[in-house]
Chains A and B, each alone.
Chain A
Amino acid sequence: MVAHLLRLKLLLLRNLFRRSRAQTIGIIAGIVYFSFAVVGVAVLLGSLRTSLDDARVIIPLVGAGTILLWTIVPLFTFGSDPTLDPARFATFAVPTRDLAVGLALSALIGLPAIATCVIMAGVFVAWTVTPGSAVAGLVCVVVGVLTAVTTSRWVSARATGALQSRRGRDALAIAGLVLLLVAGPLVAFVASSGADAKGAAGMLSDVIAWTPLGWVWAAPTDIAAGDTTTGLLRLLLGVLTLVVVGRLWAGAVSDQVENPRAVARSDAGVAADGDLGLFARTADTAGGAVAGRVLTSYRRDPRFQVALITTPLVPLLLLVPFVVGDVLWAPLLMGPLVAFLLGFGEHNAVAYDSDAVWLHLVTATPGVADRRGRLVASALLALLLVPAYTLVGAGLGGRLDLLGGLLGLSVALLGAGYGLSSVMNVVLPYPVPESGESPFASPPGAAGATLLAQTVASIGTTVIAAPVLLLAWLGWQGQVWAVWATAVLGLALGVAAALVGIRIGGRLFESRGPELLAALRRT
């Protein structure tokens, strides 16, 4: 049975290369790229062999990090690898024990596991100081990797159980978003306290070495340093950890197999009877209806909330060089950057509807109304953010004299983005996570199309706004007339680009509706 599961997983891995040629090339390019990184890390770790003190600090951190990554990642990619979901095997008469062992081992077949093993080979090399530490190192690497993989399976199995409900999934998506937002500043904070980083890392490593995350990663170093008692104690504790995790995983497997559909359905409605929600407040037209629906999505769909929360935060990153490096011109770009992001953000808007867009087709929704309605939510955000960030940025940078030019530039970028997006999201939609999937999941085989569309959207927006960018640069160089020219031309160009784009996009939406639907069904 275990052999069957392993063979199944191998087959799936091989089928990865059996898709279209373009996708295969993309996958292979990705593998080559990451192989260099992984092998580099492994070599670096292997070189710790000559320095026991560094090994004592770094290896527990790397090991604990590996286990943590294996634990956290399945929370955000749930459902991405259903072949390893125990509930799928509920209808087959497989002994639970075989299933638990087989599924855990088959998780070892796959690109992430191979990368982990390569890195751990480097760790093993670092431990080949004495014969004793080499033997302990081999045991520890194997136990460590198995612990990571088994924990990952356990978390994933429990998560799938909890996340079968829509509410659970949405909650997790929001939690992930918060984590993402906290992680950035945290890393920046740690990096900025650079001087004492080494001491802090040493302390952290010492603590980790006495937790379940670090036992196995510290034991061989102890033995190499001659502290055999501590080493063996940690090794024993590490093996016990693996046994405990294994038990937990087996328990999860038997729960899932015996009761695969133990899911509470939430029955609560979200609106009172007769309550139209936002539809009662938008304009009484087809365009208004589209706007109402998109605004409702911002309220209820995690995929939109991710964009809603991250877009205003990205320009704040410009404050880092301003605060840390006294780069005075950096905050000046806050307004134009948020305008660019908002315009660019609409370039794949229709793909989020997936094939539900059939309703727009059969109702013969006017293309211009569809285009306009989709932009309303983003435009409302722009109305708030662009003036605020432009003003704050100009104030912080001490260049309030450039305010007019900055506003003109922002409007030009926003309008160019809206215009181009209104055409692009009809002509070049690319796959995004489906409604209800994790907003962080990446649909398989979409990397090429995503890269292409995003490149076209960003370069295209810049090219359309190029005259205004040029004028703005002249204004920055001290040409006062250029500042006002930027303001006037920026406003005109932004509005014109948006209007023309909406008109062309609207016509394309009407004429290419069936092709759009077919593209969205495939994606």
Chain B
Amino acid sequence: MNDPGVLADLPAPQGVPTDGPAIAIRALGKRFGDLIAVKGIDLDVPRGSFFGLVGPNGAGKTTTLSMVTGLLRPDHGKAFVLGRDVWADPVAAKRLLGVLPDGLKLFDRLTGLQLITYAGLLHGMSRDLATSRASELIAALGLSEAQGKLVVDYSAGMTKKATLACALVHAPRVLVLDEPFEAVDPISAATIRRILEDYVAAGGTVVLSSHVMDLVQRLCSHVAVIADGQVLAVGQTDDVRGGRSLEERFVELVGGSTEVEGLSWLRTSSD
């Protein structure tokens, strides 16, 4: 994992490469005390791909995505967004990135419209542009009714959608979404899915993490399975699953047993 050669095949971080991966992760590692959460991961997310990151709880998905999006400083390795080093040239990399983190709070005393406009303004957009885009996003995500309500009063699904709008408002080239479908109702999930599919069709790149194998199998063109801080398999979704369902392949790779032992007393067939 310390092989210096891994960086050799990358495009130069400076300049504007027209090809090469949307996100390149090289020997990325992070430890928290005694726990090594991410063990030197190498990963390329091709441009224009819909990339799924799957893994069991504690596999290092959120840690990896946080290091790619500039929210958590890696102990080792590098991450590039369209050739820009996230940690050496953060402003350029972050301009290209839209981020939806998992489990972080929002400025919840703002209304939905204010929050999304705020994200746009922080990106340096003019107020007129930020407001008009915020209004469009609110309409597209079905938040029109709630735009004047405080985010603190939003349901979990509405909060997710508002966060997604914050990630989209500056028209990023790459979207990194941590658990975008968690706690989202089926109608909202369908809306989000359509927006993301359109985004990819128009040339954008989406990376998302999820527990839901069915969803990843249906949605993602590429998938990486990570467990215990390492990449177990990566590639086009159809190649990775090799004719079986992604869930079966995942269980096989991660190696957990789904056999249930005991609990015989729970099978109360008598009444």
* Interface residues of A, Cβ cutoff 8 Å to B: 166, 265-277, 279-280, 284-286, 288-290, 292-293, 296-297, 300-301, 353-356, 358-365, 435-436, 510, 513-515, 517-518, 521
* Interface residues of B, Cβ cutoff 8 Å to A: 69-73, 90-91, 94-95, 97, 99, 101, 104-111, 113-114, 117-119, 121-124, 126-127, 131, 135, 144, 146-150, 152-153, 166-167, 170
CA of A403 to CA of B146 in the docked complex: distance in angstroms? 52
Chain A residues with Cβ below 8 Å from B148 are: 269-273, 275
Chain A residues with Cβ below 8 Å from B106 are: 356, 359
Give, as a whole number of angstroms, the nearest-CB distance from B120 to chain A.
9
For the A-B complex with A275-B148, A359-B107 known, give 7 more contacts whose Cβ atoms are closer than 8 Å. A270-B111, A275-B111, A276-B113, A362-B101, A363-B122, A514-B72, A517-B72
CA of A293 to CA of B121 in the docked complex: distance in angstroms? 11
Give, as a whole number of angstroms, the nearest-CB distance from B146 to chain A.
7
Please list 14 pairs of residues, one from A and one from B, whose beta carbons are closer than 8 Å in the complex, sorted by A's number.
A265-B153, A273-B144, A273-B147, A275-B148, A279-B114, A284-B121, A284-B127, A292-B118, A293-B118, A296-B114, A297-B109, A356-B104, A359-B122, A362-B71
Contact B117 A276, beta carbon cutoff 8 Å: yes
Q: Choose from A270, A275, A356 the contact partner of B107 (Cβ within 8 Å).
A: A356
* Also in contact, A300 and B109, with CB within 8 A (given A289-B118, A364-B90, A517-B71): yes
Contact A284 B126, beta carbon cutoff 8 Å: yes
CA of A358 to CA of B118 in the docked complex: distance in angstroms? 13
Contact A360 B127, beta carbon cutoff 8 Å: no
Contact A356 B105, beta carbon cutoff 8 Å: yes
Chain B residues with Cβ below 8 Å from A271 are: 111, 113-114, 147-148
Chain A residues with Cβ below 8 Å from B73 are: 514-515
Contact B110 A293, beta carbon cutoff 8 Å: yes
Q: Choose from B94, B110, B117, B150 the contact partner of A364 (Cβ within 8 Å).
A: B94
CB closest residue in chain A, given B121? A289
Can you list the 3 inter-chain pairs with the closest CB atoms, starting with the nearest?
A269-B148, A289-B121, A363-B122
CA of A517 to CA of B126 in the docked complex: distance in angstroms? 27
Q: Choose from B113, B146, B167 the contact partner of A275 (Cβ within 8 Å).
A: B113
* Also in contact, A277 and B153, with CB within 8 A (given A284-B126, A363-B122, A364-B91): no
Contact A361 B109, beta carbon cutoff 8 Å: no
Contact A300 B104, beta carbon cutoff 8 Å: no
Contact B121 A286, beta carbon cutoff 8 Å: yes
CB closest residue in chain B, given A365? B122
Give, as a whole number of angstroms, the nearest-CB distance from B104 to chain A.
5
Chain A residues with Cβ below 8 Å from B94 are: 362-364
Give, as a whole number of angstroms, the nearest-CB distance from B62 to chain A.
12
CA of A168 to CA of B61 in the docked complex: distance in angstroms? 38
Contact A435 B118, beta carbon cutoff 8 Å: no
Contact A279 B104, beta carbon cutoff 8 Å: no
CA of A270 to CA of B111 in the docked complex: distance in angstroms? 8
